[in-house]
Structure 1
């Protein structure tokens, strides 16, 4: 179910500015201890219990038009987020919110007229959750990209939150990478390269609704393992690496 996004996908791969890279480095994301990972896994479980994990792959099978809505919303997220230096974790979270909304919204007919507004609302929500106030994009700036005023964007943001049952908790694979890098990247001279490569791999999953429906923990683990150990070629080697992690995490191969 991976789409050929053309310009959309290339934008996601290339929108990172030097300012964003600096912001990612200065503002550490995650922690490298098991207590932190357990807390994040607890958040994953709460999201699942609330029924807010993405079921978009199965929904698209019956309502194919949802994929175009998704693509338009993501294109708008990248178009706005890139120029303003929004961090990659925030972009990822915004797409997660898009998938979550399209998974839970009532479908009355095969038409959704405001995908651009949905992208704006989800980016606004992700920024409120993950960005410090001084780094959030002012809603007045959004108006330069589409004919929606601040009130309309806020109303849509409130509607998205309402559809989520007021639960805006979000977990991304990027939040696990610091821990996994400390376990999988044994060459300290490659740590920064592996970190950047890991985030690039994670961001590339935005194009596949099936991968986006997986647990963030699993996506973060796989991406970090791939970036840290490019010579891993088979299931046995993967199992060896994973065996060093706590068994109660129940990691599927």
Structure 2
């Protein structure tokens, strides 16, 4: 066996230190990182711009109830499988976009459940490292064969033109938070922002609002819950990468988030359990 001298791997160094500590180099590095992140955000904005916001066709009371029930099922199943919030949000985006192109009759409640299962399954395949078998997506009220779920998945894929790698608000949270000048820890703002996003998905149709709009509103809500139109507009200017942000739309989402947090015991998963309890009480009266 040929002996390979270790010394040959060592190159001759000049007299400069191994780890540069020059502040100018640090500034250059920070500038490059900021530039790259801004470019990444611009890519996200361009990707979300491909899919225009659509006025929701979910207007009737029964359809709103069916969607609300689907939201709760998806969030509950997310916990069972330890899916990320990103996966649940993506599933609901598929759900809302599908219903802007196709309709389901009011007496076919099973079809909404099947749609929920297929949307969550597709989202898990896009986001999760470990994906459950289709046979594991069982519900208390319906049992679907794997072939049936697969056919619904294919229908969703064709209806959405196979555009499944969609942008969600969570992709913007860290970037928007970093732009804020505040003493609040970034992790705390991101965590609260996530809660505000989850707190309104039961009340808004995701196709009517850009992900960047929802993200900006959530970060502002986590930062300050007493803003109005005048303070909101200057704050939006610091999110310079998102030129598409419209103050009126951001303020509308922001207002819904603040109002929702006041009437619920909490945001995020706690909100859904609270809403579910309210519905049960209404049914029993």
Measure, in 1, the Cα distance between the counterparts of 2:144 and 2:227.
49
The Cα of 1:210 is off from its aligned counterpart by 4.9
1:183 maps onto 2:187 in alignment = no
1:246/1:120 Cα in 2 relative to 1: closer, same or farther (>3 Å)? same
Aligned partner of residue 209 in structure 1, secondary structure: coil
The Cα of 1:163 is off from its aligned counterpart by 1.3
Aligned partner of residue 166 in structure 2, secondary structure: coil
Measure, in 2, the Cα distance between the counterparts of 1:249 and 1:46.
15
1:54/1:208 Cα in 2 relative to 1: closer, same or farther (>3 Å)? farther
- Alpha-carbon deviations, 1:67-89, whole Å to 9, x = none? 12212322321232211111111
Q: Normalising by structure 1, what TM-score?
A: 0.75
- Alpha-carbon deviations, 1:207-226, whole Å to 9, x = none? 11256621110110110122
- Of 217, 237, 248, which residue of structure 2 is paired with 1:243? 237
- Number of residue equivalences: 211
1:111/1:178 Cα in 2 relative to 1: closer, same or farther (>3 Å)? same
- Residue 17 of structure 1 aligns with which residue? none
1:234 maps onto 2:232 in alignment = no
Q: Which has the higher contact order (CA 8 A, sep 6+)?
A: 1
Q: Which has the larger radius of gyration?
A: 2
1:102 maps onto 2:83 in alignment = no
1:103/1:183 Cα in 2 relative to 1: closer, same or farther (>3 Å)? same
- Residue 55 of structure 2 aligns with which residue? 55
- Residue 209 of structure 1 aligns with which residue? 204
Measure, in 2, the Cα distance between the counterparts of 1:185 and 1:138.
45
- Residue 115 of structure 2 aligns with which residue? 118
The Cα of 1:128 is off from its aligned counterpart by 1.3
1:194 maps onto 2:192 in alignment = no
Gapped regions of structure 2 (runs ≥ 5) = 1-34, 248-285
Q: Normalising by structure 2, what TM-score?
A: 0.67
Name which of structure 1's ranges 67-76 and 214-223 shifts more when overlaid on structure 2: 67-76
The Cα of 1:139 is off from its aligned counterpart by 2.0
- Alpha-carbon deviations, 1:195-235, whole Å to 9, x = none? 110000011111112566211101101101221234x5232
1:235/1:34 Cα in 2 relative to 1: closer, same or farther (>3 Å)? same
1:223 maps onto 2:221 in alignment = no
